[in-house]
Structure 1
Amino acid sequence: MLQYTFRHLKGFGAKKEAELWRAYTFTWDDFENAYNSQLSLFEHTASFLQESRLALEAGDVEYFATSLPHQEHFRIALTYPEDTMFLDIETTGLSKYYDKITLIGWSIGTEYGVYLQGDDDSEFRKALSSAKAIVTFNGSIFDLPFIRNEFEDIRFPACHVDLRFMSKRAGFSGGQKVIEEQLGLKRSAKAAEVDGLKATLLWHKYKWGDEKALRQLIVYNHADVEGMKVIFDKVAKILLKNYQLPTSKITLPKFAKRRSKINWANKKTDKPDGIVIRPYGGKIGPLVFLDELALPKQQGLRVVGIDLTGSEGRPSGWCFLNHDLAETKCLGPDEDLINETLKVKPDLVSIDSPLSIPFGRTSVDDSDPGRHEFGIMRKCERLLKKRGVNVYPSLIPSMQQLTARGMRLAERFRKLGVPVIESYPGAAQDIMGIPRKGASLDYLSKGLELFGVKGNYLTEQVCHDELDAITSAVVGLFFWSGKFEAIGNEEEDYLIIPDLEVDTTNWLERKVIGLSGPIATGKTTAAKFIEEAGFAYGRFSQILKQMLIDRGEDVNRETLQEIGEKVNKTPGQRWLCTQLLKMLPEQGKLVIDGLRHPEDHAFMIESFGPAFMHAHIESSESVRTTRYVADGHSVEEFKVACNHPAEKDISKLALLAHRTIRNNGDLKSLQSSVDEIAQ
């Protein structure tokens, strides 16, 4: 075919090549014969033709791949049909960041070869090194980047033909199977029942003991490889005809006639060297197990997972996960979700729903004035998309109602002092190495069971929302153990996903103490004792004090209470918590003085997980009054300060605290109590 090609010559484009063909100048020889008397005028072209002949004789594919437009590389494959490799991979999913290759199938000539995850890759490398051209479907975006990511020093031929884009130029669009159907190609029944999603499930089945599943996966892969040959033949002919090359004048090779077969090994015959189906030799089940997470087993970790729906009229999946025991339900209205959650007194709530909107937006609606400037996607969604994880933008029309509901629900939980994280079960399942619900509910259940979760879902029929609620709760376990990644930013908050490789040392060994209590219980004195034990000190009033100074206002208890109440409403208590943490070291031990609202408690757990201890200090009213008066105030001033709206949530914090310190004695007694929690 390359002898009919002029596009690699300097100064020859598609138009000029078509003019030559219309003038019956089809080959390099035709060109020289037609312009023999004028070759002195085409000296440069004649030189290129001589180089081309030498390159063709030497099989120098790189010469043509470099000089031909990339979309014309199919001409190289047509020139070297016996040295063209058709290649297709199977993977655990679509993300090059999280997923792995399970199988590589290829065909050169009439031979079909397979590489399986964990096997020796020498045969694949040998076949690849012998190929002059490689043909894939969507391989430039999927197959080849996956292979480069997993195989060190891999080298591909200079010529790569991506049939997805080649087919589009010929008028065909869609996936490979869609184009095969348009061309009238029918697959065998065993291969036809598999699609990309089921292919990932077949690998899970094989890993978990079903060797027939691997056989079917290979059959499916072989059908993909052979289907590409048919597509190539049809599309190449159409393109050359469109280019006005009379294909009746030349004989094009037919890749479909070079059909390969699967050579299965059979110990009972003389075919021991074919494809062998062996039991899976790697780690069986998920990539990580619950027992491998550093979790408090004695008292247990209580996590509620919610797979939220956009409407209170549609049931949401709800799961209470008590360490490894899951209880699931389907619940409708927000009140039911809140009440059932509060009953089980969770350490953490994990919600499958966007819990924020893109920074700069003020509402979920398309009428929002920032719609065009700030878009519909948050940073976490853009990052997951970049990593190849399928995720919906938080503010596409179909997600707006869900996002609004998720934000409302999270706010209500946090105002009650319940910490909330955002989770995405689909991404978590991909990272854990278990099937998503779209692949198989049965194997999703099996994956959760193998991970280590027990519960009613194993014996009773549950819906897919309940299984995703379990997964949301499991993300809470990863969060608590430190094996997580928080993706997003401060303005939009963070989405929590498992991270199996992260170093958890700082997360698990750090200590952060938060102090709450009524006025004059000795919070600041206790905090100073803790600071002396090596903790960095932070106090909410430090932020409020600076705000007053910046405004030129007096700084006293009354003005601090007033501005604290205003900040609690707008921009909000979480904003104040964020500003305080910015003042403190990112590493090391911390003591935070002056928690005043349940949201403070929730925020600190969301920020520090198991490292955070909330200590509530109490004293009798008479002792507190005496201390306040001794500090230069009146009894009436004490009553006014205690009754200020900024102090209204102190009693709620007492119910949320992990420890209670009674401070009715002297400083020595207080320091002794503080030393216990600071150790």
Structure 2
Amino acid sequence: MMKSTFICVPGIGEKTEEHLWNMGILTWEIFRRKSKIFGLSKNKRELINEYLDKIEREFYGNLISYFVKYLPKKEYWRVYKDFIDKTIFLDIETTGLSLYYDKITVIGTYNGKEVKIFIKDSNLEEFIDYIKDYEIIITFNGKLFDIPFIKKELPEIRLPPLHIDLRYLLRSLGLKGPLKKIEKKLNIKRPDNLQEVNGREAVSFWNKFLRGNNKALENLVLYNIYDIINLKYIMDLCFLKKLSQIQSKLIRDEKETISYYLGELIQQPHTKNFKEIIRKEKENLKKKSEHFIPKIITQNRPNGIIEVYLNNELLFCINPKKIERVNINLENMIKKIKKHNNSCVSVGIDLTGSQNRSSGFCILKDKEAYLSPLENDDDIISKTINAKPTIISIDSPLGLPKGRCCADDSCKCRKFGITRECERILKSRGINVYPSLIKSMQKLTLRGIKLSRIFREKGFKVIESYPGAAQDILCIPRKKVDLKELEIELKNLGIKFISKNEKITHDELDAFTSALVGYFYLAEEYEALGNDVEEHLIIPRLI
């Protein structure tokens, strides 16, 4: 396709390129043979010839720097087939979605022939040298996710200069949405156990592996491999569809029209070259069924090393003992708290926006968490006071945005917005949070402010917490991702849960997380986001 590309010449746009194609000038070679071209000035023809010298030197020298500079980014897809041996497909897995807090767990690559996997605290650094051999990197949403993570963790890395993000290429073809949704539209299948898995659930695979579940590691690696091999098929499909779009532009009439200019016969449209390219691409796509079917198995060695095999070939080795983890030393935290306070009691309240819905409630005493649902404010107030807490941690905004006097959207103070500084900071760190005065949050915010005022008037220390943020920071899955995993991870802290319910609810687990944030606050291992006017949001600070 690149030999038919003219828009990499400065000053040549899509219309001129299309005009050249319609004149039968489908390649650089044909252009050079033409002494005159209808509709193209002598100066422009000389300009193209001048640049073609440079372009061909780069192209035949297997260099891509010129095209990175002069080819419009939306047309980067054109270089794919001509530089396919220099192309790598890439996808990463992480401990979460926050670039600020989370880490890469897996980097998966596929060059069309070979899969390479790079794992956290094992061989991740080897990716730096491996990627040097490639000039094109192809991802899905890599501009916003994969590449920023890689640059943050491996700042010295030299990434391929030309990046094709399939998210945007697919959008130009009318396909939008997450990768898995697009795969379904394109009838790309995965194994049954991975059909509904997404990036957040892949985080749970990593957490399960850290607890000794090798099957979870197999699923994580297999999930990543299907991502990267499917990227190649999707890229091949996009290339074909883009070629078809070009062909459709060139076909003006069902019959060829013949025109004469300066005695030169010009046939329109000249689509033979494009038809041949498209025919070959369709043949390649038919070979999709020939793609290898990945199978992952693990083997434990006596020295604690785990060997991971892809279709009976060793893929990588990993030593779980060497993997860095988020370490919450509850014993030390409690000792630290008791140095400054006579007691270590934190009340966590997972507040709802209405007294018609029960709120989660937790009394955290040392390593025992007493959980229960509470129906109304009177119950919350009385039970909290009876617990004699050192700290009260409420999952609710406890202040209004600066300049706001109320939550009424019809009030003049609405011009000051619905978002507080602490919420903007969390957003900037990649942690999703709702603005305190968005319509769906207004009742909750007002209820939280009311309760905090009552408790403070009675002499209690009250802080604002957000369990979702705390769980993200502590690399614990949120309740919407995997409720059972959340419960297991929290129990692994060494806490004994005591609940009247046979099954612990997600509200109770969030209430416990809020109470745990209270411990971080008392142990002075916290960060206060925001300002005094709007109320600070307290989050854990990992030391």
Q: TM-score, normalised by structure 1?
A: 0.70
In the TM superposition, residue 231 of structure 1 has moved relative to its aligned partner by 1.9
- Kept in 2, the 8 Å contact 1:93–1:100? The answer is yes
Work out the CA distance in 2 between the residues paired with 1:36 and 1:487: 68
SS at 2:518 equivalent = helix
In the TM superposition, residue 150 of structure 1 has moved relative to its aligned partner by 0.4
Q: Where does residue 164 of structure 1 map in the other structure?
A: 167
* Greater gyration radius: 1
Q: Where does residue 158 of structure 2 map in the other structure?
A: 155
Distance 1:353 1:363, change over 3 A: same
Work out the CA distance in 1 between the residues paired with 2:175 and 2:132: 31
Between structures 1 and 2, the one with greater helix share: 1
User: Of residues 322, 325, 328 in structure 1, which corresponds to 2:371?
Assistant: 328
Q: Where does residue 629 of structure 1 map in the other structure?
A: none
User: Of residues 395, 412, 416 in structure 2, which corresponds to 1:352?
Assistant: 395
Matches for 1:624-643 after TM superposition, within 5 Å: none
Q: Where does residue 2 of structure 1 map in the other structure?
A: 2
Work out the CA distance in 2 between the residues paired with 1:35 and 1:142: 49
Work out the CA distance in 1 between the residues paired with 2:323 and 2:392: 31
Distance 1:214 1:458, change over 3 A: farther
- Kept in 1, the 8 Å contact 2:122–2:319? The answer is no
Tell me the alpha carbon deviations over residues 278-327 of structure 1, each in whole angstroms, 9 at most, x when there is no partner.
Answer: 55224687432212423217943111000000000100000001122110
Q: Where does residue 313 of structure 1 map in the other structure?
A: 356
User: Aligned partner of 1:225: which letter?
Assistant: I
Comparing 14-23 with 374-383, greater Cα deviation is found at 14-23
Q: Where does residue 534 of structure 1 map in the other structure?
A: none
User: Aligned partner of 1:413: which letter?
Assistant: F
Q: Where does residue 622 of structure 1 map in the other structure?
A: none
In the TM superposition, residue 198 of structure 1 has moved relative to its aligned partner by 0.9
User: Of residues 265, 268, 275 in structure 1, which corresponds to 2:315?
Assistant: 275
User: Aligned partner of 2:23: which letter?
Assistant: A
Work out the CA distance in 2 between the residues paired with 1:20 and 1:129: 37
Q: Where does residue 343 of structure 1 map in the other structure?
A: 386
Work out the CA distance in 1 between the residues paired with 2:5 and 2:158: 26
| Residue 211 (1) aligns with residue 214 (2) | yes
User: Aligned partner of 1:210: which letter?
Assistant: N
| Residue 472 (1) aligns with residue 499 (2) | no
Distance 1:357 1:236, change over 3 A: farther
Q: Where does residue 236 of structure 1 map in the other structure?
A: 239
Tell me the alpha carbon deviations over residues 15-63 of structure 1, each in whole angstroms, 9 at most, x when there is no partner.
Answer: 2212222222221112222346899642221110011111011111111
| Residue 485 (1) aligns with residue 488 (2) | no
Work out the CA distance in 2 between the residues paired with 1:361 and 1:35: 72
Work out the CA distance in 1 between the residues paired with 2:140 and 2:491: 36
Q: Where does residue 26 of structure 1 map in the other structure?
A: 26
SS at 2:230 equivalent = helix
Question: CA RMSD of the aligned region, Å?
Answer: 2.5
SS at 1:106 equivalent = strand
In the TM superposition, residue 240 of structure 1 has moved relative to its aligned partner by 3.2
User: Of residues 356, 369, 388 in structure 1, which corresponds to 2:412?
Assistant: 369
Distance 1:384 1:127, change over 3 A: same
- Kept in 2, the 8 Å contact 1:266–1:272? The answer is no
SS at 2:106 equivalent = strand
Q: TM-score, normalised by structure 2?
A: 0.87
SS at 1:274 equivalent = strand
Work out the CA distance in 2 between the residues paired with 1:411 and 1:5: 68
Matches for 1:36-75 after TM superposition, within 5 Å: 41=43, 42-75=45-78
Distance 1:23 1:51, change over 3 A: same
Work out the CA distance in 2 between the residues paired with 1:376 and 1:35: 66
Tell me the alpha carbon deviations over residues 520-540 of structure 1, each in whole angstroms, 9 at most, x when there is no partner.
Answer: xxxxxxxxxxxxxxxxxxxxx
Work out the CA distance in 2 between the residues paired with 1:320 and 1:58: 69
Work out the CA distance in 2 between the residues paired with 1:125 and 1:167: 29
In the TM superposition, residue 196 of structure 1 has moved relative to its aligned partner by 1.5
In the TM superposition, residue 83 of structure 1 has moved relative to its aligned partner by 1.9
In the TM superposition, residue 410 of structure 1 has moved relative to its aligned partner by 0.8
User: Aligned partner of 1:280: which letter?
Assistant: P
- Kept in 2, the 8 Å contact 1:361–1:368? The answer is no
Distance 1:283 1:156, change over 3 A: closer
- Kept in 2, the 8 Å contact 1:88–1:225? The answer is yes
| Residue 134 (1) aligns with residue 174 (2) | no
| Residue 300 (1) aligns with residue 343 (2) | yes
In the TM superposition, residue 452 of structure 1 has moved relative to its aligned partner by 2.8
Distance 1:85 1:323, change over 3 A: same
Unaligned runs of 5+ in 1: 502-679
Q: Where does residue 465 of structure 2 map in the other structure?
A: 423
Distance 1:24 1:171, change over 3 A: same
Tell me the alpha carbon deviations over residues 622-652 of structure 1, each in whole angstroms, 9 at most, x when there is no partner.
Answer: xxxxxxxxxxxxxxxxxxxxxxxxxxxxxxx
In the TM superposition, residue 266 of structure 1 has moved relative to its aligned partner by 7.8
Distance 1:123 1:272, change over 3 A: farther
| Residue 174 (1) aligns with residue 177 (2) | yes
Work out the CA distance in 2 between the residues paired with 1:36 and 1:263: 59
- Kept in 2, the 8 Å contact 1:90–1:221? The answer is yes
Q: Where does residue 290 of structure 1 map in the other structure?
A: 330
Tell me the alpha carbon deviations over residues 219-260 of structure 1, each in whole angstroms, 9 at most, x when there is no partner.
Answer: 111111122122222223223333436541425655875845
Matches for 1:614-633 after TM superposition, within 5 Å: none
Work out the CA distance in 2 between the residues paired with 1:285 and 1:20: 59
Unaligned runs of 5+ in 2: 251-270, 300-306
In the TM superposition, residue 124 of structure 1 has moved relative to its aligned partner by 2.3
Tell me the alpha carbon deviations over residues 459-509 of structure 1, each in whole angstroms, 9 at most, x when there is no partner.
Answer: 9421000000000000000011111110011221200000113xxxxxxxx
User: Aligned partner of 1:453: which letter?
Assistant: I
| Residue 17 (1) aligns with residue 43 (2) | no
- Kept in 2, the 8 Å contact 1:112–1:262? The answer is no
- Kept in 2, the 8 Å contact 1:318–1:331? The answer is yes
- Kept in 1, the 8 Å contact 2:222–2:295? The answer is no
User: Of residues 391, 394, 398 in structure 1, which corresponds to 2:433?
Assistant: 391
User: Aligned partner of 2:233: which letter?
Assistant: V
| Residue 202 (1) aligns with residue 205 (2) | yes
| Residue 379 (1) aligns with residue 421 (2) | yes
